[in-house]
Amino acid sequence: MKFIEGGVCAAQGFKAAGIHVGVKTKAGWKKDVALIVSDVDCAAAAVFTKNVVKAAPIHVDKKHLENGRAKAVIANSGNANACAPMGEENAIRMCQAAAAAISCDPMDVLVSSTGVIGQTLNVKVIEDGMADLCAALDHSIEASDAAAHAIMTTDTVKKEVAVETTVGGKTVRMGGIAKGSGMIHPNMGTMLCFLTTDCAISPAMIKTALLETVNVSFNRISVDGDTSTNDTCMVLANGMAGNAEITEKGEDYAAFLAALQALCIELAKMMAADGEGAKHLITCSVKGAATEAQAETLAKSVIGSSLTKCAIFGADANWGRVLCAMGYSGEQFDPEKVDVHFTSAAGDVAVCAKGRGLDFDEDLAKKVLSEHDVEINIIMGEGEAACTCWGCDLTYDYVKINGDYRT
């Protein structure tokens, strides 16, 4: 398995486009609508936010995915179409406009939106721009790049990854674009992720693979503890790689899953690193735990702690806040067995052994925590299980971005 270029256009038979049509009305002429189309019908699956308040596109997608098939995805940024007047009607109109332009059944089009909540979506500009959007459809690297940009909101960098692997003796490619910066929290933050692959795999197995992947990637990142109304991760598999269709678990499924997980963990880390206002990617690894579930809960609690996030922002080796966050996670454990050390490219500093503070070199600790990528390593002394989660620091810029998001 290797990482390659091309994003959602890396797999055979996928075209993409991203242009500005006018949903975003400020900040220049940023792209605001993306389209991804497969040359042939695809097995498709998606996972959505667990928020009780769900955006309109999610209700539409659930209906469109009942048969486990799809051919295209249309997505806009700048308006979330959540809690908005005429929400479902406008989401359906987006599907209809795309379907008419690419000549398919509207039921085979999936739809996503991201942006401000509660305002009516200007669907007219999307319909009017559909001809231009279709004209821009292309198999190129640049086309995936344009689509990746068109779904960005407060993201500062595009998120685009692709991998190549071998399944049943055939070369299989898969790629994805994603957005997500604020409102990121385990169980899907405001993130959109669109994945494409040319692997031949049944609707049932692509759904299984997607769930097994989301749980170890996007559900292990947190930016701010807010779970959005719009979170969506979709995958389209068009089978053009020519492998024998995966219809059950086995060697082929394992190879496919490993590649999909690697792809999505990369996208998830890019999201965490690009958390709103973030200056650091924080990787929290819990080892020696009794169970993986315990390790995951503890790691998530640490990366979700505002106080820990502020300490990393200040490059302050305040490990007490790490123990404190573990303590209120809801998991039971013996604090007197816990070791903690901070690690980065600048070195490693042990700060806590058996639940008690160590004398450590404050200058070294400052250097370690001043790197962009910082690891919080926790050893529980309880068992063999482990889990890694990713987050970011809490900065002035997070407050600034979210103090005046709408205007």
Residues 39-78 binding a copy of itself (CB under 8 A) are 50-54
**What's the rounded Cα separation, in Å, for the pair 315 and 72?**
45
Applying CB under 8 A, the span of 8-16, 116-124, 196-204, 380-388 interacting with a copy of itself comes to 116-124
**What's the rounded Cα separation, in Å, for the pair 10 and 170?**
15
Residues 157-216 binding a copy of itself (CB under 8 A) are 182-183, 185
Asked if 404 touches a copy of itself (CB under 8 A), the answer is yes
Asked if 286 touches a copy of itself (CB under 8 A), the answer is no
Applying CB under 8 A, the span of 128-136, 152-160, 283-291, 313-321 interacting with a copy of itself comes to 313-321
SS3 content of the chain, % helix, strand, coil (to 5): 35, 30, 35
Q: How many CB atoms lie within 10 A of CB 370?
A: 15
**What's the rounded Cα separation, in Å, for the pair 74 and 330?**
40
Asked if 318 touches a copy of itself (CB under 8 A), the answer is yes
Is residue 114 annotated as a catalytic residue, yes or no? Answer: no
Any idea what DSSP says for residue 335? Answer: G
Among 209, 352, 368, 380, binds a copy of itself (CB under 8 A): 352
Among 132, 226, 371, 382, binds a copy of itself (CB under 8 A): 226
**What's the rounded Cα separation, in Å, for the pair 289 and 393?**
25
Asked if 363 touches a copy of itself (CB under 8 A), the answer is no
> What are 2's strand-pairing partners?
164
DSSP assignment of 266-279 equals HHHHHHHHTSTT--
Nearer to a copy of itself, 40 or 293 (CB): 293
Task: Identify the active-site residue in 49, 154, 165, 190.
Answer: 190
Terminal-residue alpha carbon distance, the chain: 45
Structural contact between residues 144 and 9, judged by C-beta atoms closer than 8 angstroms:
yes
Instruction: Give the binding site for a copy of itself (CB under 8 A).
Output: 50-54, 80, 82-85, 116-120, 182-183, 185, 224-229, 304-307, 310-311, 313-314, 316-321, 323-329, 331-333, 335, 352, 355-357, 362, 394-396, 398-407
The residues annotated with a catalytic role in the active site are 190
